[in-house]
Amino acid sequence: MTHAPGAPDATLSERPPAPVGAAELPALRRRVQAVLITTQILGGLGIAIGVALAAVLARDVSGSEALSGLASTATVAGPALLAMPLAALMASRGRRAGLVLAYLIGAAGAGVAVLGAVADSFALLLLGLVGFGAGSSANLAARFAAADLAEPDRRARAISTVVWATTIGAVLGPNIAAPAGESVSGLGIPATAGPFVWAAGVFVVAALVVSFLLRPDPLLTARALAEAGTPGGAAPEGRSLRAGMRAVRESPRARLALVTVAGSHTAMVSIMSMTPVALTHHGADIRMVGLVISGHIAGMYAFSPLMGWLSDRLGRLSVIGLAVGLIGVAALIAGTAGASHGRTALGLFVLGLGWSAGLVSGSALLTDSVPQAARAAVQGLSDFVMNTAAGVGGLAAGLIVAEAGYGPLNALAACLLLPMAALVLRSSFRKD
């Protein structure tokens, strides 16, 4: 018995949608992509509004610059904590259930962060930022949803198109941080917490869009298509988290993909999270910080279609090598910028480009390297590893800046590229 695409979510794990015909598949791909693009714009807006001033808000509430790095740690701790449960949920219920849950947790977390700022409670603020970071889980998972129904030779481009859509909201977000702060004046809410009020509302809207429009579910549809051509289908245990970990252990290129995504993300988060603090040291105001972070986010997302095209045309390994080079150059430029706001902005823009190259090529390589049944679990493992590593990096970044400065932070972040470079070279001379 098959499951109708519009049937209640409660039955998704037991009765997946029937495979669509070849003639229907292109239209379904376009519909899924349109919904994901819409939610990426909304999610990117919600995330960027809050992230722009998270470190500054943490510094103001805690009264300590060294502790300001905990804001970044908290925002990436949320996705890290949610990654594996989210992967398990998606493996059994599909993308829609997981994305809705992540956006709603992000909205609740943003609300708690506001309460922490009002109560001048650093612990409550950090708790809220952990939940707020779950919004990032949804946007990260959406890139894999875009790959579910894509042709193998267009998989990186499908991922990059959805990543690109975040540009609109993500670039706009930091620039409306100031108006968002002004909008809560007179309400007893600190201006630096105003962006989180807006973020909560945006995440709720994103959850509603996914809930009502992402039908049929792309992961469940892709699985039904794959199992239709496999005698007996795939066993449910083949979709478990344990099966996903086993698939990674058995594939050297899947391990390279994990290192790429985690390394590029950790280097980016470590540098980006402390850039607002470094800028304010040199006299930058909130608007200047917003402009620099906007340029960085433009580098992260606006050129992702180019990274996807390169990854499909030149190969995943070539673009991973490009990511290593770009992030290294970015660390050099930003780390030696000093009081030059323009040089810092350039470094952050190049850093965004390097992150985009690493995320798109690494995500495509990961999807290529494991069986379809294990993909949801492996993709969740990838997000867990990348966010856990970035959380540690964010925590260390605050301590490094407080003790040694912004320049040494960039130098140490560049050292994270060494394992990526070594594995790329090794993979270039071997076959899995």
Positive or negative: CA dihedral 31, 36, 37, 38: positive
Rounded CA-CA distance 122/154 in Å is 45
The Cα 196–Cα 13 span in angstroms is 35
Which residue would you say has higher pLDDT here, 369 or 54?
369
Kindly state the average pLDDT of the residues 34-55: 85
pLDDT score at 18? 55
pLDDT > 50? residue 274: yes
The structure tokens listed for 358 are 């690493």
Q: Assign 3-class secondary structure to 301-331.
A: HCCHHHHHHHHHHHCHHHHHHHHHHHHHHHH
Q: HSE (CB half, 13 Å, CA atoms) of 407?
A: 6
Read off the DSSP letter of residue 24: T
399-417: average pLDDT: 91
pLDDT recorded at residue 21 = 65
Which residue from 403, 413, 306 is spatially nearest to 64, judged by alpha carbons?
403
Number of H helices, E strands in the chain: 18, 0
Q: How far apart are CA 351 and CA 272, in angstroms?
A: 9
What is the reported pLDDT for 229?
A: 56
pLDDT digits (tens, 9 = 90+) for 136-161: 888 888 888 988 988 888 899 999 99
Asked if residues 19 and 221 have their Cβ atoms less than 8 Å apart, the reply is yes
What would the two tokens of residue 231 be?
Answer: 């005698």
- pLDDT confidence of residue 263: 95
**What is the tens place of the pLDDT at every residue in 24-44?**
888 888 999 999 999 989 988
- Banded pLDDT at 101 (limits 50, 70, 90): very high
Report the pLDDT value the prediction gives residue 98, as an integer from 0 to 100. 93
Q: In the prediction, which pLDDT does 430 show?
A: 67
pLDDT at 423 over 80: yes
* pLDDT confidence of residue 4: 40
Question: Residues near 208 by Cβ (< 8 Å), separated by ≥ 6?
Answer: none
Residue 377: the pLDDT is 85
Greater model confidence, 125 or 281: 125
The stretch 210-218 carries a mean pLDDT of: 92
Higher model confidence: residue 205 or residue 273?
205
DSSP annotation of 11: G
The mean pLDDT value of the chain amounts to: 84
The pLDDT score that the predictor gives to residue 282 is 75
Q: Are 150 and 219 in contact (CB under 8 A)?
A: no
Q: What is the pLDDT of residues 162-211, one digit of tens each?
A: 888 877 877 777 777 777 777 777 777 887 788 888 889 999 999 999 99
Beta-bridge partners for 17: 3
- Taking domain 28-226+238-428, whether its CATH number is 1.20.1250.20 is answered by yes
- Region 44-50 average pLDDT: 82
Who's near 168: CB < 8 A, 6+ residues apart?
41, 44, 45
Q: What percent of the chain has pLDDT over 90?
A: 37
Q: Please say if the pLDDT value at position 11 is more than 50.
A: no
What are the sequence ranges of the domains in the chain? Answer: 28-226+238-428
Strand partners, 3: 17
The whole-angstrom separation of Cα 142 and Cα 160 is: 11
pLDDT band at 10 (very low <50, low <70, confident <90, very high): very low
The reported pLDDT for the residue numbered 151 is 87
Q: Which of 83-97, 130-144, 182-196, 219-233 shows the lowest mean pLDDT across its residues?
A: 219-233
Residues of the chain with pLDDT > 70, as a percent, come to 90
pLDDT at 228: 66
357: nearest Cα among 428, 255, 430, 268: 268
